[in-house]
Amino acid sequence: MRVIKYPIKENWSSILQRPTKTVDDIEATVNQVFGDVQKNGDTAVNKYTQLFDGVTLANNLVSSSEIEEAKKLISSELKEAIITAQKNITAFHLAQKTTKVFVETTNGVECWQEKRPIQKVGLYIPGGTAPLFSTVLMLAIPAQIAGCKEIVLCSPPNKEGKIHPAILFAANLCGVTKIIKVGGIQAVAGLTFGTKAIPQVYKIFGPGNQFVTVAKQLATKYGVAIDMPAGPSELLVVADDSAKANYVASDLLSQAEHGADSQVILVSTSQKLIDEVAVEIDKQLLALPRIEIAKKAIENSKSILVANDEIALALINEYGPEHFIVCTNNNDYYIDNIANAGSVFIGNYTPESAGDYASGTNHTLPTNGFSKAYSGVNLDSFTKSITFQKISKEGIQNIGNAIEIMAEAEGLQAHKNAVSIRLKDLK
């Protein structure tokens, strides 16, 4: 990791730049695939599955027999771990349910808000170098709690034309209604336009590489909502001498192993800690099966030495990390004042991995600085808020004149008439 000491604020923007390609670099490819899928449906989807995933499928719909086979292929220990995580994630998201909001704004005017599930949702589950079955739990559980009628899961097949059995087990456990072997741009395009094999959905969820991120953003141009622009994973740790260097290094590497385009950052007021973490990273890297991926991510990463907590916090808010670990003598200062972060992990014994798997919070989070404006996935992500109003005779008489005056001032006579005709009947 590159060490940067006491950077001036004018240089923060360049120092905190993500190692991602610009949209222009990949938008042409995404547009091409989208256009092909829109025009040629499953024929185009299958072509790109063959091109990008190296497999030709006679049928890309996962059958019930494949799900039953998957249940037999994973260990009882893994099943128990997934069920433990399911219980905690369910508990946390159930707690997010809210009741109807009701108010009588004036006598005779009743207004209320109720939430309704999004009927059709698409879940994108990366396969690639790491089959993220944990993401199935993070997306399907709140979708099920919200009451979504159609929960369509897309995940890329391996070279044998199969989806990892743990993904299938988790999907079946959490109420997914259809599982399709398709990944990448073509999966997002299929969910956007609909094909014979892939249902069209109203909102698409899930992380992915930069191509998937741009594809999701393109889907919004066709009237399909997305959870957020979620690209390569990232982690920022703020730590001082109260932190354990080996813990900090393990957290940084846990995100670095996601992908070569991941980024991890250590911010500290302690040069001693930065030095100790660097030694630990070199030591722990050697034991990782994904060492080459983690090494490349570490090359994109930085340790930043700052003078005090105030400067550290300002720099962190400027960055807007996806995952934010706080391990200092002054944790409350960071907790109370953090403005831009996807999810926060506090203290020596709260590894980011806990949020990835089993603590209960959701791990589908905004990256690339989008935490400045976006929330991570939560129960509300799968619902819409609908407002209702009911006005009595007394109510329309109480607010009718105000409506008439405002409508006339805007030059909208028919709006005024809609009230006037009622008030006239009530005289």
Q: Is 209 annotated as a binding residue?
A: yes
CA dihedral of residues 166, 122, 137, 347 (deg, nearest 10): 120
Cα separations (Å) of 126 from 131, 253, 346?
6, 20, 28
Residues of the chain with CATH 3.40.50.1980: 2-18+232-341, 23-230
Three-state secondary structure readout of 144-170:
HHHCCCEEEEEECCCCCCCCCHHHHHH
CATH code linked to domain 23-230: 3.40.50.1980
Residue 356, φ and ψ in degrees, nearest 5:
-65, -30
Cα separations (Å) of 94 from 117, 308, 362?
14, 39, 12
Yes or no: say if 135 and 103 are a contact pair by the CB < 8 Å rule. no
b/e sequence 64-84, b meaning 16+ C-beta within 10 Å: eeebeebeeebeeeeeebbee
Three-state secondary structure readout of 365-385:
CCCCCHHHCCCCCCHHHHEEE
Q: Is 323 annotated as a binding residue?
A: yes
Write down the pLDDT at residue 260: 87
Burial of 10 (0-12, 13-18, 19+ CB in 10 A): exposed
pTM: 0.93
Tokens representing 64? 């019930």
Residue 57, φ and ψ in degrees, nearest 5:
-115, 135
Kindly report, residue by residue over 238-257, the tens digit of the pLDDT. 999 999 999 999 999 999 99
Q: Is 415 annotated as a binding residue?
A: yes
More confident residue, 232 or 35: 35
Judged against a pLDDT cut of 90, whether residue 230 lies above it is answered with no
Residue with tokens 């069209």: 200
The catalytic residues are: 322-323
CA dihedral of residues 75, 79, 80, 82 (deg, nearest 10): 140
Q: Residue 404's pLDDT band (boundaries 50, 70, 90)?
A: very high
Judged against a pLDDT cut of 80, whether residue 314 lies above it is answered with yes
Kindly state the percentage of the chain with pLDDT values over 90. Answer: 91
Residue with tokens 């700052």: 306
Cα separations (Å) of 305 from 36, 245, 255, 329?
49, 15, 21, 16
Q: Residue 21's pLDDT band (boundaries 50, 70, 90)?
A: low
- Average pLDDT of span 272-284: 97
Write down the pLDDT at residue 133: 96
Q: Residue 18's pLDDT band (boundaries 50, 70, 90)?
A: confident
Q: Which CATH superfamily is domain 2-18+232-341 in?
A: Nitrogenase molybdenum iron protein domain (3.40.50.1980)
Instruction: Name the average pLDDT for the chain.
Output: 95
Q: Is 24 annotated as a binding residue?
A: no
Amino acid identity at 300:
N
Q: Is 233 annotated as a binding residue?
A: yes
Q: Residue 63's pLDDT band (boundaries 50, 70, 90)?
A: very high
Yes or no: say if 171 and 71 are a contact pair by the CB < 8 Å rule. no
